[in-house]
Amino acid sequence: MSARLRAARTAVLVVRAWLALAAFDVAQPAGFSRVSGWLRRQRIASRRSSATTDQVIWSVEEACVWYVKRAMCLQRSVVATWLLRRHGIPAQTVIGYRPLPFESHAWVEVDGQVVNDRPQYQRAFRVLDRL
């Protein structure tokens, strides 16, 4: 694959991630249950694309740099999970919490491994839900 084609595919991934960040913001007033229900219905594509997990995660992070506001962990994780599934990668958004001092966080796992954040979240946080 030529460098020009790779760059074009990466740009498309970043644009899709940016648009998904905006769609999340539009859907957010409908409530978390609606967003989580939508993500639960998003199936893993039957054919795996040429995009790797690292490329998709990088594209989401790059889209966040150019987004109009700061994207929080849940928004980034939902968008990354959706894009990974579209590319045939079995991803889950994990929502966890720490009771004292209270803190909550969301991250993405593929095959039980954290792919968009630090792996220590798995040890430090109790899982509330997997989407």
- Check residue 69 and give its pLDDT: 95
What 3-state DSSP class applies to 18? helix
Edge-to-edge strands of the sheet including 103-110? 113-114, 103-110, 91-98, 126-130
Confidence of residue 129 (pLDDT cuts 50, 70, 90): very high
Question: What residues make up the domain containing 90?
Answer: 3-130
Amino acid type, 72: M
pTM of the model: 0.92
**Which contacts qualify for 1-8: CB closer than 8 Å, 24 or more apart?**
1/50
- Give the tens place of pLDDT for each residue, 51-86: 899 999 999 999 999 999 999 999 999 999 999 999
**β-strand 113-114 against 103-110: which pairing, if any?**
antiparallel
Number of domains, the chain: 1
CB atoms within 10 A of CB 9: 16
| pLDDT tens readout for residues 22-40 | 999 999 888 889 999 999 9
